[in-house]
Amino acid sequence: MQLKLPFVKVDVLNLQKRRNYRITKKIKLEDVQ
* 3-state SS string for the chain: CCCHHHHHHHHHHHHHHHHHHHHHHHHHHHHHC
The pLDDT, as a whole number, for residue 1 is: 53
Residues 3-20 pLDDT 10s = 666 677 778 788 888 888
The pLDDT, as a whole number, for residue 33 is: 59
pTM: 0.45
Distances (CA, A) of 4 to 18, 20, 23, 25, 31: 21, 25, 29, 32, 41
The CA distance from 19 to 15, in Å, is 6
Query: Per-domain residue ranges for the chain?
Result: 1-27
